[in-house]
Amino acid sequence: MKRDFLNPLHAAFEPAKLQAQLHNAGLDDRLGVNLVSDRHVAVRGGLH
């Protein structure tokens, strides 16, 4: 059970990594990343 909880934490992305992925995809002008807590981010914006 401990391993099941720990594995997703190792796979998590940091906000800077998410922002870089948005940039590489050409979406950083439409979407942004906000740090919500030490374990959560929110992606804001739209793809209209």
Can you give the residue ranges of every domain in the chain?
A: 13-45
pLDDT digits (tens, 9 = 90+) for 4-47: 777 777 667 888 999 999 999 999 999 999 999 888 889 999 99
CA distance 3 to 15: 24
pLDDT of 28: 94
pLDDT of 40: 86
Q: For residue 42, what are the contacts with CB-CB under 8 A and spacing of at least 6? A: 33, 34, 36
pLDDT of 11: 67
Radius of gyration for the chain, computed over Cα atoms and rounded to the nearest angstrom: 13
